[in-house]
Chain A
Amino acid sequence: MNESIVYLLKTENSTFVKASLFDQVTDDHLAMWNNEWVPVMKKHAGDLKLKDAPEDSHWNWKKKLAQVEHLLSYQSFALVCEGVLQGLMIVSNVRSAKIQEQFGKPVVYVEFVSTAPWNRAEINKPVKYRGVGRVFILAAIESSREMGYGGRVGLHSLPQAERFYENKCGFKRLGPESTHQNLCYFEMTSSQADLFCQNMK
């Protein structure tokens, strides 16, 4: 397992604090998810009508990981800052690109990505740490490059995050897909990935 040092913006005092990105989710991370995220998410979702609860409030990361952790085609990531789990991501690397110019070439596909409840404006405003989403996209791009996929990345965005992927990461929107609960599919080309890594988008 590799640990990368990254930085998040702590809004409380507007300082950048060190965080660790691990390229493997461990039992310790899952215990943090279960003990720290789940109670907050359950309380928040319980106060809302089901249709208003965050789309991913019911995701069970332990089960998701158990289904894929033994497969070479999946990789998981955990982001920890100041001793607390801030985000989780699972990617796979056997899917093909859909954008015409790179059609059929392999992409790193973000199966699932979530940030901790206290980093979501809808639950906790101001959010505690900023920057979790782009750290994960950076990790997906680097993972894609490492596999020889040239930084190509694809994902199905939850409705409330579409703006983030299109406007703040430079993904191309390809439209809703019935095979994925009509969530919109987004994809990034190698050149878009280069721009992202230069913080141009």
Chain B
Amino acid sequence: MKLNYPKEWYEKSALIEGDDEIGAGAPPVDWCAREDEGGIESRIALGQFVELWRRDKGWNAERLASEAGIDTVEVLELEKDPRHEPEPDAVYKLSKVFGVSSRKMMELAGLVQNRNPYLREEAIRFAAQASPLSKLTDVEQQSLEAFVSALTLTN
């Protein structure tokens, strides 16, 4: 595709455009994640879940990445940056390592439509109780176990 318009066209066009915003596009919900306020809470919970799960095992991010067969950077971004749009493949592989429902992990990551209304509440409760300390406290341990079972139960 090649444009063959004279300079004058662009001069007039830029004046018409002005300072307007021009962003367009939205992936269908099942294709790619888009964050809203609800989504970000789920993703914060997902990040904390990943971090607590591996710390409970005594693994560093590199070990978890290697067990799952994904990049270490993907693990770190998942844990630290709730704005990060995770790879569906990475979320799926992690769910296999954790032994939890891949569908629910995908929901938390905002990669598929939310089918479990209670999952978000569980996620917020979990995110509120967990804190990134070096060793898991008893409360964190209980919280992690409860969240693992919420992610494992099928409904």
Contact = CB atoms under 8 A, between A and B. Distances in A.
Interface string B8-24: 01111111111111111
A122 interface: yes
A143 B87 CA distance: 30
B124 to A, nearest CB: 15
Given A4-B2, A64-B32, A199-B13, A127 B19 contact: yes
Given A130-B18, A138-B3, A54 B13 contact: no
A132 to B, nearest CB: 7
From DSSP, what is the main secondary structure of chain A's interface residues?
Answer: mixed
Interface residues of B, number: 36
B35 to A, nearest CB: 6
A109 to B, nearest CB: 9
A115 B29 CA distance: 23
Given A9-B15, A45-B83, A135-B10, A161 B1 contact: no
Interface stretch (A25-33, A98-106, A178-186): A178-186
Interface in B1-53: 1-5, 7, 9-29, 32, 34-37, 40
A18 to B, nearest CB: 9
A180 B26 contact: yes
B21 A113 contact: no
From DSSP, what is the main secondary structure of chain B's interface residues?
Answer: loop
Contacts of B122: none
Nearest to B28: A179
Contact of B28 (A63, A64, A180): A180
Nearest to A137: B22
A111 B23 CA distance: 10
24 contacts: A2-B2, A7-B14, A9-B14, A23-B1, A55-B23, A60-B85, A64-B32, A90-B25, A112-B24, A126-B19, A130-B14, A130-B18, A132-B17, A132-B22, A138-B13, A139-B1, A139-B3, A143-B1, A146-B1, A161-B23, A163-B20, A179-B28, A199-B9, A201-B16
Given A58-B83, A67-B32, A110-B24, 13 more contacts: A7-B11, A50-B35, A57-B83, A90-B25, A113-B24, A114-B22, A130-B14, A133-B22, A138-B3, A156-B24, A161-B21, A164-B22, A168-B20
Interface of B: 1-5, 7, 9-29, 32, 34-37, 40, 83, 85, 87
